[in-house]
């Protein structure tokens, strides 16, 4: 139950936490930003990070525009990858591809959770 509550809190607050928030702004349909939140464990953070960095060009080619990598405070191998994409369709095609499944396997990723998000509003308090 604690994880579900934390995940919900994280999803709602992550843009503010990682500094993607600008002064209050509600978006029109043409302004919608597409984001992906991935939460997963890795066997070894340093090994995962090397594979992640080496995949930067294929992520960019697939439509990833920017990203943030975070890790849990008390678990160095629990990773959160928050990224902005050209479209949810491109993000899904990339993350669900056999090529990426093999890359995740090489990187030691365990049980990734993908959450596809549309940004509706930004604000600073």
Ordered mean pLDDT values, 10 residues apiece, the chain (125 residues): 52 55 49 87 95 96 97 95 96 94 93 92 88
Report the pLDDT value the prediction gives residue 10, as an integer from 0 to 100: 56
HSE-CB of 74 using CA atoms within 13 angstroms? 0
Report the pLDDT value the prediction gives residue 111, as an integer from 0 to 100: 87
Report the pLDDT value the prediction gives residue 120, as an integer from 0 to 100: 86
The answer regarding whether domain 2-122 maps to CATH 3.40.50.150 reads: no
Taking only Cα atoms into account, the Rg of the chain, rounded to an integer number of angstroms, comes to: 15
- Name residues whose C-beta falls within 8 Å of residue 21's C-beta, 6 or more positions apart in sequence: 15, 122, 123, 124
Report the pLDDT value the prediction gives residue 119, as an integer from 0 to 100: 87
User: What does DSSP say about strands 33-42 and 109-119: parallel, antiparallel, or unpaired?
Assistant: antiparallel
CA distance 38 to 45: 15
Report the pLDDT value the prediction gives residue 113, as an integer from 0 to 100: 95
Report the pLDDT value the prediction gives residue 98, as an integer from 0 to 100: 94
Report the pLDDT value the prediction gives residue 122, as an integer from 0 to 100: 81
């Amino acid at each position: 139950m604690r994880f579900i509550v934390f995940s919900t809190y994280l999803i709602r607050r992550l843009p503010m936490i990682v500094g993607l928030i600008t002064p209050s702004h509600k978006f029109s349909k043409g302004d919608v930003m597409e984001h992906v939140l991935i939460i997963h464990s890795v066997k070894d953070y340093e090994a995962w990070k090397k594979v992640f960095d080496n995949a930067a060009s294929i992520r960019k080619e697939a439509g990833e525009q920017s990203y943030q990598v975070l890790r849990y405070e008390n678990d160095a191998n629990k990773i959160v990858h928050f990224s902005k994409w050209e479209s949810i369709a491109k993000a899904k095609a990339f993350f669900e591809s056999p090529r990426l499944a093999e890359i995740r396997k090489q990187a030691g990723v365990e049980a990734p959770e993908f959450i596809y998000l549309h940004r509706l509003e930004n604000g600073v308090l």
